[in-house]
Amino acid sequence: MENSGKFSLKLITTLRFALFSMLLFSFNEIIAQSKTDSTLREVKIHSKHKISNDTRLNDYSPGQKVKTIDSATLQQYQMQSMANLLSQQVPVFVKSYGFNGLATLNFRGSSAAQSAVFWNGIPVQNAALGIADVSELPVSLMNRVNIVYGGSAALWGSGNVGGALLLENDAPVFDTSKRKLSVNAASGSFGQYAGGISGMISGQRWYFSGNIFTQTAQNNYPYTNEAGMTANMPNSRLSSDAVLFKGAYKSDTHNVVSLTGWYQQYSREIPPDLLETYSVKHQTDGALRLLADWNNQTGSNKWYAKSSLIRDEISYTDSAILLHTHNVVYQYYQETGWKKELTSLGRILLFIPLQVSWLPQQGGIKAKQQDKVAMAGAWDIKQFNNRLDIAVNARAERIINNGDSLVQKTVFLPGANASCSLFHWLQLRANAQYTYRSPTLNELYYFPGGNINLKPERGWSEDAGYTVNRKTGRLSFYHDASFFNRDIHDWIIWLGGAIWTPHNIAEVHSRGVETENSVTYTLGNWKFHLGLNTAYVLATTMASYIYNDGSIGKQIPGAPRYNGQANIGFSYRLLTFNYNHTYTGYRFTTTDESEYLLPYQTGNVQLMYKLWISKRPITLTGQCNNIWNEHYQVVAYRTMPGINWLLGISADIISERSVKP
Q: Judge whether 124 and 132 are in contact, CB under 8 Å.
A: yes
What pLDDT score does 509 carry? Answer: 97
Range of the domain at 349: 2-654
Q: What is the mean pLDDT of residues 104-126?
A: 94
Confidence of residue 436 (pLDDT cuts 50, 70, 90): very high
Peptide bond into 448 cis (omega under 30): yes
Torsion-angle region of residue 88: left (phi > 0), alpha (psi -120 to 50) or beta? alpha
Residue 658 reports pLDDT greater than 50: no
What pLDDT score does 292 carry? Answer: 98
Pairing of strands 600-613, 115-119: unpaired
Residue 459 reports pLDDT greater than 60: yes
Any bridge partners for residue 85, and if so which?
none
Quick: pLDDT tens for 520-532: 999 999 999 999 9
**Residues whose CB falls within 8 Å of the CB of residue 336, separated by 6 or more in sequence, listed in order:** 304, 305, 351, 352
Confidence of residue 47 (pLDDT cuts 50, 70, 90): very low
Task: Let me know if residue 396 belongs to a domain.
Answer: yes
Q: In Å, how far are 108, 210, 334, 409, 616 from 170, measured between CA atoms?
A: 29, 11, 20, 37, 22
Q: Judge whether 10 and 601 are in contact, CB under 8 Å.
A: yes
- Residue 182's nearest CA partner among 207, 208, 212, 206 is 212
Cα separation, 508 vs 366, in Å, equals 34
Cα separation, 587 vs 564, in Å, equals 14
What pLDDT score does 22 carry? Answer: 33
Q: What is the mean pLDDT of residues 326-335?
A: 96
Residue 2 reports pLDDT greater than 50: no
Task: Let me know if residue 111 belongs to a domain.
Answer: yes
- Residue 484's nearest CA partner among 87, 162, 114, 47 is 162
Q: Judge whether 432 and 460 are in contact, CB under 8 Å.
A: yes
Q: Judge whether 335 and 370 are in contact, CB under 8 Å.
A: no
- Residue 174's nearest CA partner among 225, 250, 105 is 250
- Residue 66's nearest CA partner among 51, 49, 84, 83 is 51
Stated length of the chain: 661
Question: Which helix (DSSP H) or strand (DSSP E) does residue 6 occupy?
Answer: helix 2-23
What is the three-class DSSP state of 632? coil
Confidence of residue 49 (pLDDT cuts 50, 70, 90): low
Task: Let me know if residue 365 belongs to a domain.
Answer: yes
What pLDDT score does 45 carry? Answer: 38
What letters, b where the CB count within 10 A reaches 16 and e where it falls short, cover 41-66? bbbbbbeeeebbbbbbbbbbbbbbbb
Q: What is the CATH number of the domain that holds 165?
A: 2.40.170.20
**Residues whose CB falls within 8 Å of the CB of residue 277, separated by 6 or more in sequence, listed in order:** none
Pick the more confident residue, 517 or 29.
517
**Residues whose CB falls within 8 Å of the CB of residue 35, separated by 6 or more in sequence, listed in order:** 44, 47, 49
What is the three-class DSSP state of 319? helix
Residue 38 reports pLDDT greater than 80: no
Residue 462 reports pLDDT greater than 90: yes
Residue 638 reports pLDDT greater than 70: yes
Confidence of residue 559 (pLDDT cuts 50, 70, 90): very high
Task: Let me know if residue 410 belongs to a domain.
Answer: yes
Q: What is the mean pLDDT of residues 366-370?
A: 91
Pick the more confident residue, 83 or 15.
83
Each as own residue / partner, the long-range contacts of residues 627-631 (CB below 8 Å, 24 or more positions apart, any chain) are 627/603, 628/6, 628/10, 628/601, 628/602, 628/603, 630/10, 630/600, 630/601, 630/602, 630/603, 631/223, 631/224
Confidence of residue 140 (pLDDT cuts 50, 70, 90): very high
User: DSSP code of 5?
Assistant: H
What pLDDT score does 234 carry? Answer: 93
Confidence of residue 19 (pLDDT cuts 50, 70, 90): very low
Q: Judge whether 624 and 643 are in contact, CB under 8 Å.
A: yes
Residue 481 reports pLDDT greater than 90: yes
Confidence of residue 277 (pLDDT cuts 50, 70, 90): confident
Residue 660 reports pLDDT greater than 60: no
Task: Let me know if residue 266 belongs to a domain.
Answer: yes
* Mean per-residue pLDDT over the chain, rounded: 89
Q: Sign of the CA dihedral 356, 362, 367, 368? A: negative
Query: What are the φ/ψ torsions at residue 127 (nearest 5 degrees)?
Result: -65, -25
Cα separation, 304 vs 338, in Å, equals 7
Q: Judge whether 244 and 210 are in contact, CB under 8 Å.
A: yes
Confidence of residue 452 (pLDDT cuts 50, 70, 90): very high
Question: Which helix (DSSP H) or strand (DSSP E) does residue 613 occupy?
Answer: strand 600-613
Lowest mean pLDDT among 10-14, 260-264, 604-608: 10-14
Calculate what percentage of the chain has a pLDDT beyond 90: 79
Q: What is the mean pLDDT of residues 434-462?
A: 92
Cα separation, 567 vs 534, in Å, equals 12
Cα separation, 193 vs 187, in Å, equals 5
Residue 434 reports pLDDT greater than 50: yes
Q: What is the mean pLDDT of residues 138-165?
A: 93
Task: Let me know if residue 445 belongs to a domain.
Answer: yes
Task: Let me know if residue 659 belongs to a domain.
Answer: no
What is the three-class DSSP state of 8? helix
Cα separation, 534 vs 19, in Å, equals 13
- Residue 273's nearest CA partner among 495, 101, 94 is 101
What pLDDT score does 363 carry? Answer: 66
What pLDDT score does 395 carry? Answer: 97
- Residue 171's nearest CA partner among 51, 59, 266 is 51
Q: Judge whether 200 and 180 are in contact, CB under 8 Å.
A: yes
Q: Report how many domains make up the chain.
A: 1
Tell me, yes or no, if the pTM score tops 0.85.
Answer: yes
Task: Let me know if residue 49 belongs to a domain.
Answer: yes
What letters, b where the CB count within 10 A reaches 16 and e where it falls short, cover 329-368? bbbebbbebbbeeeeeebbbbebebebbbbbeeeeeeeeb
Torsion-angle region of residue 551: left (phi > 0), alpha (psi -120 to 50) or beta? alpha
Beta strand spans in 342-441 (E): 347-359, 368-383, 388-402, 406-423, 426-437
